[in-house]
Amino acid sequence: MRPTAGLSACAQLDGHVKTAATPLGSANPATGSGRTWRLHPVLSAWVAAVTGVAVSMAISVPLDLYQQLGFGLISVIAALLIRRSRWGKLAVIALIVLSLTGSLRYMYWRLGSTLAFDSLLEGVLGWILVGAEMYALTILMLGYLQTAWPLRRSPQPLPADQQQWPSVDIFIPSYNEPLSVVRMTVLAAQAIDWPADKLRIYLLDDGRRDDFKAFCVEAGAGYLTRADNTHAKAGNLNAALGRTDGEFVAVFDCDHIPTRSFLQVTMGSFLQDPKLAMLQTPHHFFSPDPFEKNFKTFHKVPNEADLFYGLVQDGNDLWNAAFFCGSCAVLRRAPLLEVGGVAVETVTEDAHTSLKMSRKGYNLAYLAIPQAAGLATESLSAHIGQRIRWARGMAQIFRIDNPLLGPGLSLGQRLCYVNAMLHFFYGLPRLVFLTSPLAYLFFSAQVFQASGTMVLAYALPHILLSIITNSRIQGKFRHSFWNEVYETVLAWYITWPVLLALISPKLGIFKVTAKGGIVRKSYYDWRMGLPYLVLLGLNLLGLGAGAIRLASGSAPGATVAINLVWCLYNIIIISASILVAREARQLRSTPRVAAVLPATVMWPNGRTTVCETLDFSSSGVGLKVSDQTKFNIGAEIQIAISRGDIETVLTGVVAQLGENLGIDFKHLSIAQQRELALITFSRADNWTGTWGKTKLDAPFSALRDLLVFGLMNLFSLTVRSALVWPRKLGRQTGSVRIKTP
């Protein structure tokens, strides 16, 4: 079926590209209209100089309280107007300029006028806070640089002559994942539309498991192992590089199931740009990550990865600094070998490899079209373990191959790479922000040597402008304040490994992220949640201390009020973070993907019942039947499911009764599994419909959501014990809608 599918996949692709490009492209009439006016170089140098002077004036001219309040008010109003405007990218840049002016103005004032500390305690605490603020400002500025102009690359057409299509090896590394997870990935990879003689699939099994080998032999995929497990995944890939010879290498984590159009969408760019060494596509998850699972926000609020793959990587692409993320990417073999294969010096081999290729002058690209989907990490502990590894790895690169130093990079590349690393240093600053108001509420330590009103006049525009700006830039990919929750959850755990890696890159251990598992009952992960319970307790005490201070009238009201509001905000964020550690029940080891397809149940006696499918996983299907009396638990039935011109007949056992019938597949042959893959996971437009389609950000409602989540959680934790949490949480079902033909 593979050779014939080429044209139909291309046809699907065309439709898909249009749908994907329309919402992205329509937002920027300024670029769409193709005006080509340009500034004369001398003139632009002058304009730049005048701009520089004017901006430095706007930032540095000191104003008194009311003038500064006026400045803040005007700029916030301007920002709100611009946010609603239809100027496209011009609006984004105007917002960034406003936000940076407000923030730099704040920092100029902060450094110049608020640091005359009276005592050692205040001095130490105060400087720690300033350090954290400067870090946050740096990240804000670099973040703007990265996200100001997402490149929005589109797929390049392949030549009509298939002889010119290059050969591709697909690597699927695995170490300890169950075969049930890996099986679908291998089969879907085999289903990729590409000339058969130019496509080879390799399962790289570092677990050296016999059942894997048997499966590969049966499925007709390559199976590669090696004697040891040095350098983990990087070593595994490098070993495979030595034993294969395709011009290109595509890498999929064993739980990332590619669509059939993956290579046709990606490979055109390589033919168009011979210097292109790597093209990355998004990591899309059809199962909820711990946040989505435990907050129950799956497909309502953009998840943590959405920002990175939806915006940051696309923005990096402008600066030629989109980097390899270990999976769902194609690499050109020659440059990869030129930098010595996949980097083994650090535990984030993917980013480091990209950095090395960038230094050699190769181009990197990012194509924001999801062409594979996989499982998100399921438990909070696993999520934290994964992030610790990323953070450690980035810190290692920062230490041993700092992108600010060394040859070969453009300034934009350096800054983008360095932000990718600095971003992971947020642990300590975040903890500082979560505890700073306590210094005043508990000890009356004036870590901010300025009057409360003055602080408001300078800090409010800085904060509001950045919220407004980020809401406009990231609205589709991250809702306001969620970033705080994502970071807060990790802050405690990430701090030490990052510091350790900065001190000595070799310190620390590497853990494989476990994927696919069952959470039989909801429980509170006390081990993970404990630091946040402590932080919450401290902030609640601080709230009490502040209330007493306010009531006694012994302290300046404005200062106490600011610290109280800050404290309250921290409480909201921390309570929301605590909620994540309450692991919700998850009954399936393979999460389901919703898909409504026509199906027919065939009884052993030859009769048939027409029904519809509800959802799929690789091991079962949910059916909607009108008459369920015919079904018994344990009864073996055959189901015919069709989609377009493909139809497959599968054998299953009734596992669950009810309005939604649960069927577990039994004895599926490789061919059946392949067909299952084709009608479910492999479709080219599977993921583009849902990806980045959560509701747009509205800062107030985002805050309200968090408030509700946080307070609800606080209530439930205090009133009921987390251990007797009622098992009323429904089954976890992905709500990806698969279009029926």
Partner 1 sequence: MKAHKSVKLKIRPPLRDGCCKPHRGKLTTLLGSALLCWTTAFAVQPATPAEVAAAAASSNQRFTLRQLGALKPFALRGLDGRDGVPFNVRADSVITKASLKLSYSYSPDLLADLSKINVLINGEVAASLPLPKQIGSGPVEQTVSLPPQMITEFNNLTLQLIGHYSMQCEDPAHTSLWATVSNKSVLELTTEPIAVANDLALLPEPFFDRRDPRPLTLPFVFANNPDDATLEAAGSLSSWFGALASYRGAQFPASINAVPASGHAIVLIGNPSAIPGLEIPPLTGPTLAIIANPRDPNGKLLLVMGRDGQELKSAAAALAVAGKSLSGQRLVLAQSAQPAARRPYDAPRWLRSDRAVKLGELGTAQTLNVSGYNPGAIAIKLRVPPDLFGWNDKGIPLDLKYRYTPQPSLVNSSLTIGLNDQFVKSLPLLPIERLGSGTLLAKLQSDETLPMQAKAHLPLAMLRPESQLQLRYMYDYIKQGECRDVIIDNVRGAIEPDSTLDISGYSHFLAMPDLAAFGGSGFPFTRLADLSQTAVVLPDAPNAQEVSAYLAVLGRLGESTGYPGTRITVTRTAKVAGAADKDLLLIASGDRQPLLKSWASAMPAGLDAGARSGLSELLDHAISWGAAYLPDRLKPTSAAQGFNRAGMNAYFAGFESPLKSGRSVVVVWGAEGEGLQAGVDALLGSEDKNQGIAGRLAIVRGKQLDSLVEQPAYHIGDLDWFTRMRWTLSQNLSLYALASALAAGLATLLVFVTLRSLSRKRLPA
| 96 part of the interface to partner 1, by CB under 8 A | yes
User: Of the listed pieces 97-105, 212-220, 369-377, 556-564, which binds partner 1 according to CB under 8 A?
Assistant: 97-105
| 453 part of the interface to partner 1, by CB under 8 A | no
3-state secondary structure 461-501: HHHHHHHHHHHHHHCCCCCCCHHHHHHHHHHHHHHHHHHHH
Among 42, 57, 227, 551, binds partner 1 (CB under 8 A): 57
Contacts of 223 (CB under 8 A, 6+ apart): 202, 203, 205, 212, 213, 216, 217
| 85 part of the interface to partner 1, by CB under 8 A | no
Active-site option among 205, 206, 317, 525 = 206
User: Of the listed pieces 46-54, 224-232, 538-546, 608-616, which binds partner 1 according to CB under 8 A?
Assistant: 46-54
Q: Which residue, 51 or 721, has its beta carbon nearer to partner 1?
A: 51
Find how far residue 361's CA is from the centre of its chain. Answer: 27
Closest contact distance (angstroms) between CB of 349 and partner 1 is 26
Contact pattern for partner 1 over residues 6 through 45, marking x by CB under 8 A: ------------------------xx------xx----x-
Helix (H) or strand (E) holding 676: helix 670-679
| 273 part of the interface to partner 1, by CB under 8 A | yes
Give 329's strand partners.
Answer: 251, 280
Q: Quick one: which of 618, 641, 615, 582 has its CA closest to 732?
A: 615
| 61 part of the interface to partner 1, by CB under 8 A | yes
| 94 part of the interface to partner 1, by CB under 8 A | yes
Closest contact distance (angstroms) between CB of 21 and partner 1 is 13
Among 83, 89, 226, 359, binds partner 1 (CB under 8 A): 89
Helix/strand number for the chain, H first, E second: 24, 19
Does residue 571 contact residue 543 with C-beta atoms inside 8 Å? yes
Contact pattern for partner 1 over residues 215 through 254, marking x by CB under 8 A: ----------------------------------------
| 50 part of the interface to partner 1, by CB under 8 A | yes
Among 21, 63, 463, 703, binds partner 1 (CB under 8 A): 63
Q: How many residues bind partner 1 (CB under 8 A)?
A: 46
Contacts of 418 (CB under 8 A, 6+ apart): 142, 398, 402, 403, 404
The stretches of 275-332 forming alpha helices (DSSP H) are: 290-295, 304-307, 313-318
User: Of the listed pieces 60-68, 134-142, 519-527, 633-641, which binds partner 1 according to CB under 8 A?
Assistant: 60-68
Q: Which residue, 35 or 727, has its beta carbon nearer to partner 1?
A: 35
Is the Cα dihedral 67, 73, 77, 78 positive or negative? Answer: positive
Contact pattern for partner 1 over residues 305 through 324, marking x by CB under 8 A: ------------xxxx----
Q: Which two tokens stand for residue 692?
A: 């980045």
Determine the Cα–Cα distance for residues 19 and 121; give it in Å rounded to an integer.
58
Closest contact distance (angstroms) between CB of 150 and partner 1 is 9
Closest contact distance (angstroms) between CB of 556 and partner 1 is 21
Q: Which residue, 7 or 74, has its beta carbon nearer to partner 1?
A: 74
Q: Which residue has the tokens 């029940």?
A: 585
Among 85, 230, 272, 721, binds partner 1 (CB under 8 A): 272
Determine the Cα–Cα distance for residues 340 and 702; give it in Å rounded to an integer.
46
Q: Which residue, 185 or 269, has its beta carbon nearer to partner 1?
A: 269
Q: Which residue, 126 or 516, has its beta carbon nearer to partner 1?
A: 126
Contact pattern for partner 1 over residues 136 through 155, marking x by CB under 8 A: ------------xx-x-x--
User: Of the listed pieces 61-69, 471-479, 500-508, 545-553, which binds partner 1 according to CB under 8 A?
Assistant: 61-69
Measure Cα distances from 264 to 194, 250, 281, 377, 462 in Å: 7, 12, 13, 29, 46
Map the footprint of partner 1 across residues 400-419, applying CB under 8 A: 412
How would you class 711 by CB atoms within 10 Å of its CB: exposed for 0-12, middle for 13-18, buried for 19 or more? Answer: middle
For 141-163, the DSSP string reads HHHHHHHSS-----PPPPPS-GG
b/e per residue 557-571 (b: at least 16 CB within 10 A) = eebbebbbebbbbbb
| 90 part of the interface to partner 1, by CB under 8 A | yes
| 156 part of the interface to partner 1, by CB under 8 A | yes
| 62 part of the interface to partner 1, by CB under 8 A | yes
Phi first, then psi: what are they for 740, rounded to 5°?
-90, 145
Determine the Cα–Cα distance for residues 259 and 727; give it in Å rounded to an integer.
36
Does residue 684 contact residue 459 with C-beta atoms inside 8 Å? no
How would you class 580 by CB atoms within 10 Å of its CB: exposed for 0-12, middle for 13-18, buried for 19 or more? Answer: buried
Helix (H) or strand (E) holding 33: none
Among 27, 97, 141, 305, binds partner 1 (CB under 8 A): 97
Determine the Cα–Cα distance for residues 146 and 474; give it in Å rounded to an integer.
12
Active-site option among 193, 255, 350, 615 = 350
User: Of the listed pieces 96-104, 343-351, 385-393, 655-663, which binds partner 1 according to CB under 8 A?
Assistant: 96-104
User: Of the listed pieces 95-103, 183-191, 570-578, 645-653, which binds partner 1 according to CB under 8 A?
Assistant: 95-103
Active site residue 206: yes
Active site residues: 206, 350
Residues that bind partner 1 (CB under 8 A): 30-31, 38-39, 44, 47-48, 50-51, 53-58, 60-64, 67, 71, 74, 89-90, 93-94, 96-98, 101, 112, 116, 148-149, 151, 153, 156, 269, 272-273, 317-320, 412
